[in-house]
Amino acid sequence: MTKIQLLTQTEKVLNKISYASKAPKNVKGWELEVDPALGYAYDQGLRFGLVHSYEGQNWVPQTPLSDHQQNRFDSILSSLPKVDPLKQSILRDTYPILVQPIPGISPHTVGVHEDQWSPEEYYRAMMLSRLANLPLSQTYQSHQVSDWIRGMLDSYYRAHDILIPTTTELRLGSDKKFVTGALTITPESGTYFNMAVLDFESLYPGVVDVYNLSYETIQCGHPECQSNKVPGQDISICRQRRGIFSAIIGALRDLRIHYYKPLLKTLDSQTEDYRVTKAANSILKLVLVASYGVTVRIHGLASPLLGEAITAYGREVLQSTFDLARNEGLKPKYGDTDSVFLDNPSDQQIDKFTRQVRDKYKLELAYDRRYSVCVLSGAKKAYFGILPSGETEIKGLTVAKSNSPRFFLKTFQDCLAILGKGRTSAQEFEAAKLGTRAVVNNALSFLRQGKIPLADLEYRVELREDPRKMINARTLPQPYQAAVLAAESGQNVSRRQEVGFVKVRPFKHGGRTFTVKPTAQAKPAEVNVDDYVRNLLSLLDQTFEPMGIRLGARIASVPSLSEF
């Protein structure tokens, strides 16, 4: 038999060997990992999940499109920014199968017990069967998005006589183990009123589509493609050949952004239309989210150069969007992965800017949210914002980390509640800032009076090492002190386990000085109040520094419980 090789586009004559089960390990060749049953279905042109016939290389679903469905579809096609025959043909194949009615079947047919049957999950599984061309038994309650993507690619390749590349071929000779990540632009620390956050809608799938990033288009050998380099990388992308992966991901992205997502908002949640649309929308979302990750991590889909190209374009798009905003007189203050923060833009400015970006990159930048007040720390990925509703969002701040004591988070949240009251104007915010001092003083006085439950003073840390190996160390880090004490009281403590402990005043244990106790063993009177006061104030000062609030200096002079 003759097959086309994906990467070189040349023909290859092969002997076909069929296995009734998985191929033995020592056999060399292609498509050895394709499940024989699936291989049969692919070769017979079967399509899972819908009643259809097969004409030439096209699946023809049983139920024709309604006029309304056809009109909507035509408008998706006509909105494509350029002629793109491959993507159009994929859209033409995919759309009709996704909008087919969903047959009512019994749990028994899928091999699921009635108690575990979920109609919503069934709709999702049905959509997935159609999209990834996998049997329902493999899609019901499946969370293996990489299998879905592989199913899509494999069934496309097989239907078009393309030899599925081996894992080694896909790597294109690269032994790269890591891919450079997304860009985070250092924030301009400060307090901002009316900060707008704009997000790219599925940025990575977008660059995959727009820049034609696909297994067979990267590191192109054509002399005329050598100048089409990925920004900052020595990887050239083919200009002539449309990539299959990029066309598929692009088609799914178009369906989600231009069809399913807007459609879902218009439908009554009690209707069949809504259920079908919701199922398709959620499947598409998951596939799009995973489409970059599979190129890095997943056996049979990994192509490090492809992954590198995707994030490189992602970084390029974010940086140049940030620069464009500045050149347009907007005030960008922070950017991370796929979002930019703009200081107090008008709605008209946002509209104009998102249109400019769409025209320039063919990517959708959308208004996501506005903070009435947003406080950016000088560090990346660490800020908080107060929404117009008064709700707060906290990102990456140490004071709010899950292993910090709840007492810290709670005090911080109480401060935010006070600050939130001043969200309407800069003047009111100044007044609200003064209120935080009282909140903190109050919390500290509760702490000094021993009124904070030990559970709220607990730190939680995962043990990286086996505590038994650390037992003879001259000085023990605090989590291991807690582990030693817990073990001595008969608890089983091991590596990777999380220990909870409270900071207590220093005491001697077996010749060494310990400063913590497991929460269960600590007594309120032993709590190292000074340590908590110092830590809380320093964390709050770090967090509030951009607002010009300094809590530490003044409060530290108040005598604490331990000094009485």
> Contact residues for Zn ion (CB under 5 A)?
220, 222, 225, 238, 240
List Cβ<8 Å contacts ≥24 apart for 46-50: 47/97, 47/130, 47/133, 48/129, 48/130, 48/133, 48/134, 48/135, 48/136, 49/97, 49/126, 49/127, 49/128, 49/129, 49/130, 49/136, 49/139, 50/97, 50/100, 50/130
- Smallest gap from Cβ 239 to Zn ion, in A, equals 6
- Smallest gap from Cβ 254 to Zn ion, in A, equals 24
CB nearer Zn ion, residue 234 or residue 359: 234
- Smallest gap from Cβ 224 to Zn ion, in A, equals 7
CB nearer Zn ion, residue 101 or residue 221: 221
DSSP output for 263-287:
HHHHS-TTSHHHHHHHHHHHHHHHH
- Smallest gap from Cβ 240 to Zn ion, in A, equals 5
Q: How far apart are CA 121 and CA 127, in angstroms?
A: 10
CB nearer Zn ion, residue 243 or residue 405: 243
State the CB neighbour count (10 A cutoff) for residue 429.
20
Is 160 in a helix, a strand, or coil?
coil
CB nearer Zn ion, residue 12 or residue 222: 222
Nearest to 9, CA basis, from 230, 242, 207: 242
- Smallest gap from Cβ 159 to Zn ion, in A, equals 24
Q: How far apart are CA 212 and CA 222, in angstroms?
A: 15
Query: Which token pair is 433?
Result: 């800032």
- Smallest gap from Cβ 396 to Zn ion, in A, equals 42
CB nearer Zn ion, residue 225 or residue 520: 225
Q: Which residues of 499-527 are buried (b: 16+ CB within 10 A; e: fewer)?
A: bbbbbbeeeeeeeeebebbbbebbeeeeb
CB nearer Zn ion, residue 225 or residue 487: 225
- Smallest gap from Cβ 220 to Zn ion, in A, equals 4
Cα 494–Cα 495–Cα 497 angle in degrees, nearest 5: 75
Whether 141 contacts 125, CB under 8 Å: yes
CB nearer Zn ion, residue 99 or residue 235: 235
CB nearer Zn ion, residue 238 or residue 386: 238
Whether 132 contacts 46, CB under 8 Å: no
Backbone angles phi, psi at 341, to 5 degrees: -105, 125
Q: Tell how strand 392-395 and strand 459-462 pair up.
A: unpaired
- Smallest gap from Cβ 242 to Zn ion, in A, equals 11
- Smallest gap from Cβ 320 to Zn ion, in A, equals 24
CB nearer Zn ion, residue 238 or residue 418: 238
Whether 183 contacts 314, CB under 8 Å: yes
Nearest to 370, CA basis, from 344, 336, 338, 396: 344
Looking at the chain, how many residues does it have?
Answer: 564
Calculate the dihedral angle through the C-alpha atoms of 255, 257, 262, 264, rounding to the nearest 10 degrees: 60
CB nearer Zn ion, residue 225 or residue 379: 225
- Smallest gap from Cβ 291 to Zn ion, in A, equals 22
CB nearer Zn ion, residue 104 or residue 223: 223
Chain-centre distance for alpha carbon 35: 30
- Smallest gap from Cβ 305 to Zn ion, in A, equals 15
CB nearer Zn ion, residue 63 or residue 240: 240
State the CB neighbour count (10 A cutoff) for residue 84.
19
- Smallest gap from Cβ 228 to Zn ion, in A, equals 8
Q: Which residues of 174-197 are buried (b: 16+ CB within 10 A; e: fewer)?
A: beeeebeeebebebebebbbbbbb
